[in-house]
Every structure is written in structure tokens, then in C-alpha cells.
Amino acid sequence: MADLGGPEILVIIIAVALLFGWKRMPDMARSLGRSVRIFKSEVDQLRTGELPEASAAPTPIPEPTRTPED
């Protein structure tokens, strides 16, 4: 991957600001930070061998009850 210097990062920030507006940038940065934090915690759980609750063993689906037809 190419190294990004100061001028390249500045151009990217200006392009994002023009596309989305200055007012939405803090919300986007906050959302990106939350996403990175969640991703890191999931990777840490996988490394330690802990399974998240959502990926635990699935609950069995009960068989539908059939009524006799007359």
C-alpha cells in the first residue's frame, strides 16, 4: 500500500468535505470510530477463543404441529 503524506491526506479531507459537507464530518468520524472499536473487540474475542453470544449454538426450531384433516 502506498504511503500517504500530509498533502495527500489534506486532499482526501477536502474531497470528503466537498462531497458530504462540513456539518456531517463529525458524525461520520464518530461512526467510523465506533465501527473500528467494535471490530477490534470482535478480533480480540476471536484471538482469545471467546465466542460472542450471537454466534453461540443455535436454538432448535420446533416442529410444526399438524392437525388431522376431516
Q: Structural domain of residue 35, as residue ranges?
A: 21-50
Report if pTM > 0.75: no
Instruction: Report yes or no on 66 lying in a domain.
Output: no
User: What's residue 55's pLDDT?
Assistant: 53
Residue-wise pLDDT tens digits, 48-63: 886 656 555 566 777 7
Q: What is the pLDDT of residue 47?
A: 87
Round to whole Å and give the CA distance between 4 and 11.
11
Contact assessment for residue 25 and residue 34, using Cβ atoms and an 8 Å cutoff: no
In the chain, the number of structural domains is 1
In a domain, 64, yes or no: no
Q: Are 32 and 24 in contact (CB under 8 A)?
A: no
- What are the pLDDT digits (tens) for 4-46? 888 998 998 889 888 888 888 888 889 989 999 999 999 998 8
pLDDT computed for residue 40 by the predictor: 94
Q: Is residue 35 part of a domain?
A: yes
In a domain, 9, yes or no: no
The answer to the question of residue 10 being in a domain is no
- Identify whether 43 is part of a domain: yes
